[in-house]
Structure 1
């Protein structure tokens, strides 16, 4: 009787272990199908798990780089459109300067032009203090406030930093998100340092009566404004080149992201078709094992003694 009891216990233990193993296999395949992950724990494949952790960290850092690239693109696009507006305003100022420089222009007409010039100065001052998406000065470098302020004489004075703020877009690459005010408004006027807003302000004063020869002052200003517009165009070229670079960086970030995703899928992903087949095999084996156990466990030795 002891031998019979031991054999029966062993039979139950083996059956229990077999069905438990099959059940765990089936649950593992079901888990893989629901998550898409081949590895449930690092011990399943330590080398692959280590590489997946590295790829995950790289992916998180790349998200920061992508956000910086997006911000740089947004700020540079805003800078480009603002520079276009500045160029248009300066072109209008130059047009008015040419008109005011005509000998047929009356003092009354020049006074009217002076009024518009004052408005143009205000427009330029407002554009110079354009804010970015975060509320910081777009052309103020790294300063958080305005890029320009008016002194006691009403002259626009740059109060930002010397260099534009740079953003890290990954792989050791930094890109300035804009240009500074002096890059836009400060220019070389035939060998003499000049400022576009100051030229407009001084012309407004000259046409309003501050100059003994307002027509000559207007003609001089027209030439200076031509140089100022050319300087703005140069800034637009710089911004355009940076935007092109950002496009390249973003395309590379997309490519690298796709490569990471492919490697992650290869290391830790599953082949859905194979996993479904494996699951079906495990379930079939489990069902057969359960049926066999039920049948065998119902057989008694006494049924064969007679």
Structure 2
């Protein structure tokens, strides 16, 4: 079988080019510590890595959201605890006021104390979160409540704040509106809220108008308020526990995903160095053989 000069050149050149490309690829893998740098390196692996990167980015966002939600829930709990303390004080004052032997002056003093408690509750209800937003604000409105010049308190805005996504199809209501937390209290005269319950008693005591009966009604209503706020704190704790579980799940998923990514992408340094050495040896041998062969005086006459 005769081999032409052109065929010999073409075959040798093609082989050296393939070896050079392979050597360059191996050197890139060593330099980047990645065996898949472009889609042409491994189409299936590149697609899998792209999916892993997207999932990792999503979970990073979920992780940030979990941190935010935990912070909001922690602040909600501490603020509700402070509100609970104020309500307990108000309940104690209502018990003191439910005494027919008190003088009008004593009733007035208790009424003034309750007025201060209402002001403190308004301040707590309007607490700002770490973002500078109303912690118990509704979907609309800057503050949770507003106190008029006559001392009456009203809820502002409407609707509930949107839940925070913390996983694929999983979200958590990190905060509640003031209306949900402090309103809808069942009283003898119909639905009310904690501000109105305490303010009504304060007015009755200051004016000394049906004070004893008002104190008895307020005492019962404050029990309902405390139960509602206590239930809200329980809900906050349950949501915080759920976030801990979701955070653990994200950590486990991230670890498993990293193992998959490493298997697909990371360069096996020792194996790659060995293959590069083999490739360079073959390339150098091919170059040497081609150089010697092309230098033969009879080479031009081969057909």
* Bin for the TM-score computed over the shorter chain: 0.7 to 0.9
Unmatched runs of 5 consecutive residues or more in structure 2: 298-303
Partner residue in 2 for 1:247? 244
**CA distance change for structure 1 residues 300 and 250 in 2, over 3 Å: closer, same or farther?**
same
**CA distance change for structure 1 residues 188 and 30 in 2, over 3 Å: closer, same or farther?**
farther
* Structure 1 position 146, deviation (Å): 0.6
Partner residue in 2 for 1:206? 204
Q: Is residue 277 of structure 1 aligned with residue 274 of structure 2?
A: yes
Cα distance in structure 1, aligned partners of 2:250 and 2:152: 45
* Aligned-partner SS, 2:146: strand
Q: After superposition, where does 1:13-92 map in structure 2 within 5 Å?
A: 14=12, 24-92=21-89
Q: Is residue 258 of structure 1 aligned with residue 252 of structure 2?
A: no
* Aligned-partner SS, 2:143: coil
TM-score, structure 1 normalization: 0.82
Unmatched runs of 5 consecutive residues or more in structure 1: 1-5, 302-306
* Structure 1 position 62, deviation (Å): 2.4
Aligned length: 293
Q: Higher mean Cα deviation, 116-125 or 149-158?
A: 149-158
Q: After superposition, where does 1:1-306 map in structure 2 within 5 Å?
A: 14=12, 24-186=21-183, 187-189=185-187, 192-208=190-206, 210-282=207-279
Cα distance in structure 1, aligned partners of 2:27 and 2:75: 51
Cα distance in structure 2, aligned partners of 1:259 and 1:85: 42
* Aligned-partner SS, 2:40: helix
* Aligned-partner SS, 2:167: coil
* Structure 1 position 61, deviation (Å): 2.4
TM-score, structure 2 normalization: 0.82
Asked whether the 8 Å contact 1:146–1:159 carries over to 2, the reply is yes
* Structure 1 position 134, deviation (Å): 1.9
Cα distance in structure 1, aligned partners of 2:281 and 2:101: 103
Cα distance in structure 2, aligned partners of 1:130 and 1:55: 40
* Structure 1 position 137, deviation (Å): 1.6
Asked whether the 8 Å contact 2:140–2:159 carries over to 1, the reply is no
Cα distance in structure 2, aligned partners of 1:233 and 1:73: 19
Q: Deviations over 1:110-142 (max 9, x none)?
A: 322222211111111011111222222221232
Cα distance in structure 1, aligned partners of 2:14 and 2:45: 29
* Structure 1 position 36, deviation (Å): 2.5
